[in-house]
């Protein structure tokens, strides 16, 4: 059974949705970087690399404003936007630090139908940079939607996520921040924070929903949960 409104049309970075499926497949098949120290965009690390499967390290307060950390943040933003994507965690470019960046632009959302946007509770938000994020759920309500990841290129699966979360941490300049997020932004935050704990979406997916990008619109297997809020 396919509920088109519940399937994200998007390019995927860590958790990224924005372009149509045709564009998505092209982007995911050609996505690459060119090395951390080469002056070009860093490569996106793929599943199996240990940096994606071990907890990342805290950014020391004394390091938050350092040139090194600021350069890492700038590179992360460039990679995310180049994908294009709505989120990225530092381990995805091979940096084992607890840093995430995310933003969801009107441009990305415009590729989805009004029904999809409403079902996903998706709204644009400006760039967020969070160091040492700590996430907690504000509700026990959850929803099932497809997710993808450029560290697991070309595949999607349904993942259950909380609908309302709070994330506390520090901005790029070391100032405390707290974000209360709902709907799609909450999903993005959970996906990115998972990366910092060495967890990929495939570790939490509904196994029988796992599929290639070209098959994302095909009916779900019998017994799979209905897409959308529970």
Q: Is 192 a catalytic residue?
A: yes
Helix (H, G, I), strand (E, B) or coil at 139: coil
Residue among 127, 131, 108 nearest 62 (CA)? 131
Number of H helices, E strands in the chain: 5, 9
Report CA-CA distances (Å) from 63 to 68, 72, 75: 8, 12, 17
Residue among 198, 172, 183 nearest 92 (CA)? 198
What six digits make up the tokens of 130? 């969070």
Report CA-CA distances (Å) from 205 to 22, 132, 145, 147, 208: 24, 25, 10, 9, 9
150 close to 89: Cβ distance less than 8 angstroms: no
Q: Which of 67, 103, 192, 214 is catalytic?
A: 192
Query: Looking at the annotation, which residues are catalytic?
Result: 192
């Amino acid at each position: 059974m396919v509920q088109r409104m519940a399937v994200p049309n998007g390019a995927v970075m860590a958790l990224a949705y924005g372009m149509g499926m045709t564009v998505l497949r092209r982007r995911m098949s050609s996505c690459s970087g060119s090395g951390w120290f080469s002056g070009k965009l860093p490569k996106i690390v793929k599943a199996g690399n240990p940096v994606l499967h071990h907890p990342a390290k805290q950014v020391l307060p004394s390091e938050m404003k350092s040139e090194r950390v600021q350069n890492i943040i700038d590179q992360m933003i460039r990679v995310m936007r180049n994908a294009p994507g709505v989120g990225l965690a530092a381990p995805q470019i091979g940096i084992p630090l607890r840093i995430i960046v995310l933003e969801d632009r009107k441009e990305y959302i415009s590729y989805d139908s009004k029904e999809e946007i409403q079902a996903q509770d998706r709204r644009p938000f400006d760039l967020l940079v969070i160091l040492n994020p700590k996430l907690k759920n504000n509700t026990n309500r959850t929803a099932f939607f497809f997710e993808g990841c450029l560290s697991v290129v070309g595949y999607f699966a349904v993942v259950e996520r909380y609908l309302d979360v709070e994330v506390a941490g520090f901005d790029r300049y070391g100032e405390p921040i707290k974000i209360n997020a709902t709907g799609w932004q909450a999903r993005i935050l959970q996906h990115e924070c998972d990366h910092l704990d060495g967890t990929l979406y495939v570790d939490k997916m509904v196994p029988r929903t796992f599929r290639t990008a070209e098959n994302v619109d095909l009916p779900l297997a019998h017994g799979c949960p209905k897409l959308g809020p529970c």
